[in-house]
Each structure stands twice: as C-alpha cells, then as structure tokens.
Amino acid sequence: MPQYGILVYSPAPADPMALTPDHVESLDRYPAQAKKLGGKVLGGSYFSGQRGFAFEPSTTATAVRGDTVSSGPLVESDLVVTAFFVLSAPDLDTAVRIAQLHPATRDGGVEVRPMFVPPTE
C-alpha cells in the first residue's frame, strides 16, 4: 500500500506539553479513525503507545542551504512544523481524507506528501 509523509503544523510556539486534554484524546483516537478509512498510521508518530517524533516548542529554526546557515525556518509562516508521521493508505484521496481528521487541522494544518518509491529493476 502506498505511504505518505504527514507533516503536522501548529501555531507557534506549539508546546506539546500544552496540548488540551481534548486534543490529546483526539490524537489517541486518530489511528483508529485512519484504520476505519482503510489507512494505517505507521511508526514515526507521536501517538500514545508508539515511539514518536514531536518537536520541541519553538518559534525559530536553523536553516541550511549549501554553505549558508541562517537563523529562522527555511519557509516563513505563522505556523511551525510540530510533528511528522508516516501514513499507509490505498491512494492519495484516502490519505487526504484521513489527514482531514487530524486534530491539528482545527487551528493549524497538515501536509500530505507521497513517499518516494524507487523503481524496481
């Protein structure tokens, strides 16, 4: 089944320790909601019971382009990347429907990106 990288965006400073109980409950329900739509949240998430990837609260980042290192994110936005995970889904439309259920879409957003699959010989 195809895989999609999901980037989670939230308003800065996006402190994961400041999530409301409702938001945390929504995160806990999210993998089951994905499954009902035919998808599966894979490792690399920040959901309960799984090793996760959530970023420290931040309003800044360090960007690197070639030999240039600069303070600040690579792309300016009022939202910051707060977490990422991989989602397995039958197709992009399903992946987007699953992404729409993520609680971050209430005040931030999510980005769905197809994962690269190298050609087989």
Residue for token pair 């039958």: 90
Domains of the chain, first to last: 3-114 (3.30.70.1060)
Say if CB 12 and CB 56 are below 8 A apart. Answer: no
pLDDT digits (tens, 9 = 90+) for 30-87: 989 999 999 999 865 465 555 456 676 666 678 888 898 887 777 778 888 888 889 9
Residue 3 has pLDDT above 80, yes or no: yes
Alpha carbons 114 and 3: distance in angstroms, whole number: 6
Alpha carbons 45 and 31: distance in angstroms, whole number: 10
Residue 6 has pLDDT above 70, yes or no: yes
pLDDT recorded at residue 38: 97
pLDDT recorded at residue 14: 82
Bridge partners, residue 81, by sequence? 9
* 16 vs 68, more confident: 68
Alpha carbons 116 and 61: distance in angstroms, whole number: 26
